[in-house]
């Protein structure tokens, strides 16, 4: 890795002017293949941190080869059909792999390859011959996401020999047994529990990754636990924070958590994914929402669908009603425990179940390529008394579809002034127009949805196929 800087500086280019001290915008390059890669985003990067010893800028790499990764890792990328780095990969990877290691705060739209970016960094930094010494720790906000990341590590690392990746989640790891693996990926509660019991030796950690970092560092939620983990790791550990959303509120804390980090940020208006057609359904009243949901069932099963509701109880209730009305659906939320949850999600991944009702537990990170429709049965709200529209959760929820350049539809249900105003706030926040659907004109609703779903789009060549777990 020592020569990384020279390797990614294109020798045939004019020497660039000295990097300005302040933040500078870089426009995304034109690429071909899909709307996703065609899109030009304003990416804000702190250029002051982006120069090598000769003062040349380290903008990006245009191929994985330029990173000079070990052959075993390159073979893993090829096997997973990663041929060309996505924007976040070409920009963040050279920064994360450079020596001496620097912290990183990286923001990128849903389904654009953040996971592969930090997994590559972990695999590169870890001595995989030390199979019982944890050297990289990755934290995620849900059991499902932790398992998924474990699957990505094992896939990209499939040619790295016997890769030992421990999932530190309830039921998958014994609380009174030593954690023995090169890489640990887990949820904060279990990880802290293991550290407390002296079953997780953190002193050799080279990398700490916090996925969904804005959620994880929220002091109303998991922030405290992440802080405690940080206190237990070496000062020299490289800290990498990733998310599609970084609201200002948590950004200052993120900068303290990952001091003097290189940063890759996006503006609100560049956060939405072009392949996702965002629609809303004008429901006459709360009671009619359920009937309309049932009428949408046929459209939901064109591919797979996720229905997001506010509470566990309503998730169970809707499942019960839909089943009694003859629809096949499954449900997953935090009241379910351990391995049961794994089975439920595996069934959804494999297509054995096609319509999944869930809470915010699955709003973030979950990558199931077949998901073509997301329904916001309840508009996500946050804050005391749930009075404030939750624009971040909205974006993460709809990001369960339209992944890696695929098309998808989201339908948000509004039924009263409050839900309508909340959705209006969210569409203004991202600077987008939503397509209106009317429950009175069913032919038109079907046409609008099917028009999107049948429009095929070339998959970008960096897209992984379905992520395999186990």
> Applying CB under 7 A, which residues contact DNA?
141-144, 169-170, 175, 186-193, 196, 220-222, 225, 310-313, 333-335, 359-361, 382-383, 385-386
Pick the closer one to DNA by CB: 113 or 151: 151
For residue 170, the minimal CB distance to DNA (Å) is: 4
Angle, CA 173 vertex, CA 167 and CA 178 arms, to 5°: 105
Pick the closer one to DNA by CB: 123 or 195: 195
CA distance 262 to 83: 25
| 101: Cα within 13 Å, side-chain hemisphere | 18
For residues 82 and 464, is the Cβ–Cβ distance under 8 A? yes
For residue 331, the minimal CB distance to DNA (Å) is: 10
For residues 179 and 194, is the Cβ–Cβ distance under 8 A? yes
For residue 461, the minimal CB distance to DNA (Å) is: 34
For residue 428, the minimal CB distance to DNA (Å) is: 21
CA nearest to 184, candidates 227, 140, 248, 141: 140
Pick the closer one to DNA by CB: 228 or 327: 228
Show the tokens assigned to 281. 């359904």
Pick the closer one to DNA by CB: 387 or 468: 387
For residue 4, the minimal CB distance to DNA (Å) is: 35
CA distance 179 to 133: 8
Burial code (b: 16+ CB inside 10 Å, e: under 16) for 279-292 equals bbbebeeeeebbeb
Phi, psi torsion values for 26, nearest 5 degrees: -120, 130
For residue 312, the minimal CB distance to DNA (Å) is: 4
Sign, Cα dihedral of 272, 28, 107, 402: positive
Pick the closer one to DNA by CB: 77 or 362: 362
Task: Show the beta-strand stretches assigned E in 163-231.
Answer: 165-168, 183-186, 207-211
For residues 145 and 212, is the Cβ–Cβ distance under 8 A? yes
For residue 193, the minimal CB distance to DNA (Å) is: 4
| 442: Cα within 13 Å, side-chain hemisphere | 9
For residue 138, the minimal CB distance to DNA (Å) is: 13
Sequence-separated (6 or more) residues with CB below 8 Å from residue 384: none
Q: How many residues does the chain have?
A: 470
Pick the closer one to DNA by CB: 68 or 170: 170
Pick the closer one to DNA by CB: 131 or 175: 175
For residue 339, the minimal CB distance to DNA (Å) is: 12
Terminal-to-terminal C-alpha distance of the chain = 31
The H-assigned helical ranges of 296-400 are 297-300, 312-324, 338-350, 391-398
Pick the closer one to DNA by CB: 176 or 433: 176
Burial code (b: 16+ CB inside 10 Å, e: under 16) for 152-168 equals bbbbbbbbbeebbbbbb
Instruction: Quote the distance between the C-alpha of residue 100 and its chain's center.
Output: 27
Pick the closer one to DNA by CB: 90 or 144: 144
Sequence-separated (6 or more) residues with CB below 8 Å from residue 319: 329, 330, 331, 357
Pick the closer one to DNA by CB: 78 or 174: 174
For residue 372, the minimal CB distance to DNA (Å) is: 23
């Amino acid at each position: 890795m020592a020569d990384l800087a020279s390797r990614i500086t294109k020798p045939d280019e004019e020497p660039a002017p000295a990097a300005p001290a302040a933040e500078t915008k870089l426009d995304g390059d034109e690429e071909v293949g899909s709307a996703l890669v065609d899109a030009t985003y304003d990416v804000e990067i702190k250029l002051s941190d982006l120069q090598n010893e000769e003062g040349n800028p380290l903008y990006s790499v245009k191929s994985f080869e330029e990173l000079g990764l070990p052959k075993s890792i390159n073979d893993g990328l090829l096997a997973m059909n990663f041929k060309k780095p996505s924007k976040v990969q070409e920009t963040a990877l050279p920064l994360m792999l450079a020596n001496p290691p620097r912290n990183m705060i990286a923001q990128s739209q849903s389904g654009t390859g953040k996971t592969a970016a930090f997994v590559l960094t972990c695999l590169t930094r870890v001595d995989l011959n030390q199979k019982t010494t944890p050297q990289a720790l990755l934290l995620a906000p849900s059991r499902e996401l932790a398992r998924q990341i474990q699957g990505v590590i094992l896939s990209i690392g499939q040619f790295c020999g016997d890769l030992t990746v421990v999932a530190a989640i309830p039921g998958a790891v014994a609380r009174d047994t030593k954690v023995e693996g090169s890489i640990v990926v887990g949820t904060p509660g279990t990880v802290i529990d293991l550290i407390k019991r002296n079953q997780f030796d953190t002193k050799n950690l080279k990398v700490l990754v916090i996925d969904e970092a804005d959620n994880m560092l929220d002091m109303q939620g998991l922030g405290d636990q992440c802080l405690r983990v940080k206190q237990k790791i070496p000062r020299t550990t490289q800290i990498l924070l990733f998310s599609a959303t970084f609201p200002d509120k948590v950004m200052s804390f993120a900068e303290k958590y990952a001091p003097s980090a290189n940063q890759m940020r996006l503006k609100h208006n560049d956060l939405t994914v072009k392949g996702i057609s965002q629609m809303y359904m004008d429901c006459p009243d709360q009671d009619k929402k359920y009937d309309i949901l049932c009428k949408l069932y046929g459209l939901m099963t064109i591919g797979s669908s996720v229905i997001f509701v506010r509470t566990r109880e309503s998730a169970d209730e809707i499942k019960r009603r839909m089943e009694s009305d003859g629809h096949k659906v499954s449900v997953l939320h935090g009241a379910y425990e351990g391995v049961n949850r794994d089975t439920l999600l595996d069934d959804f991944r494999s297509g054995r179940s096609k319509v999944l009702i869930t809470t915010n537990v699955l709003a973030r990170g979950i990558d199931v390529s077949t998901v073509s429709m997301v329904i916001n049965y309840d508009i996500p709200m946050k804050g005391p008394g749930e009075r404030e529209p939750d624009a971040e959760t909205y974006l993460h929820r709809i990001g369960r579809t339209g992944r890696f350049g695929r098309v998808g539809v989201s339908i948000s249900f509004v039924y009263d002034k409050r839900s309508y105003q909340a959705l209006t706030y969210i569409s203004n926040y991202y600077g987008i127009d939503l397509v209106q659907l009317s429950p009175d004109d069913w032919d038109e609703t079907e046409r609008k949805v099917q028009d999107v779903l049948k429009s095929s789009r070339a998959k970008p060549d960096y897209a992984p196929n379905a992520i395999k777990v186990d």
